[in-house]
A = this chain, B = another copy of it.
Amino acid sequence: MRIRFVTSNEHKAEEAAEILRSGGIEVEWVDLEYPEIQADSLEEVVSFSLEWVSGRVETPFFIEDAGMFIDALSGFPGPYSSYVFRTIGNQGIIRLMEGVSNRRAKFYSVIGLVAGRGMKAEVMGAGVPGRIAERPRGIGWGFDPIFIPEGGGGLTYAEMGRRKNEISHRRRALELLADRLGAKIVK
């Protein structure tokens, strides 16, 4: 089967295509920017965007948004992870977490799907628990150098290289999507 992935982020498009391919799902990348609202939950952000994209892109299609939520900072940077990365960056997060003993955080990915013409929008999310590193380790995009996922042997996302894609929050959300579409992603 074939599904459109609407995103202006080429890196995301490739990652999703690679993961879904193993489930026999072919991804067609639609390079379109859409408005994202300010909201405290990714589900709200995605729901609003889905409505905007509907009618502009042929079904079936999906969109995705992700963020890192830090417990000790009331969920910051959450839905604004990309802006926060571009401004205060990993160093800013490390500073905010100096001397903070509760380093729990999660990376969370939310997918919005319209499976067919006239069908209701569906929103699904999945996360990976972990903790914030004491300092950046490894080379990777965004907050990957400071996020240590549970079950990753103590490495940061950035240190895991391609193995990240086997356990990542986006992988888990895409598994939900595949399930919903009646497919199954294999390792």
Contacts and interface: CB of A to CB of B under 8 A. Distances in A.
A38 interface: yes
Nearest to A45: B38
Interface in A67-86: 73-80, 83-84, 86
A83 B73 CA distance: 11
Interface stretch (A91-99, A139-147, A158-166): A91-99
A104 to B, nearest CB: 15
Interface string A39-53: 010000100100000
A35 interface: yes
Contacts of A35: 37-38, 48
- Copies of this chain, whole number: 2
A88 interface: yes
B88 A73 contact: yes
From DSSP, what is the main secondary structure of chain A's interface residues? mixed
A36 interface: yes
A87 interface: yes
A73 B95 CA distance: 13
B37 A38 contact: yes
A86 to B, nearest CB: 7
Contacts of A87: 73-78
Contacts of A86: 74
Interface in A16-42: 35-38, 40
A42 B142 CA distance: 24
A125 to B, nearest CB: 18
Interface of A: 35-38, 40, 45, 48, 73-80, 83-84, 86-88, 92, 95-96, 98
8 contacts: A35-B37, A74-B86, A76-B84, A78-B83, A80-B80, A88-B96, A95-B95, A95-B98
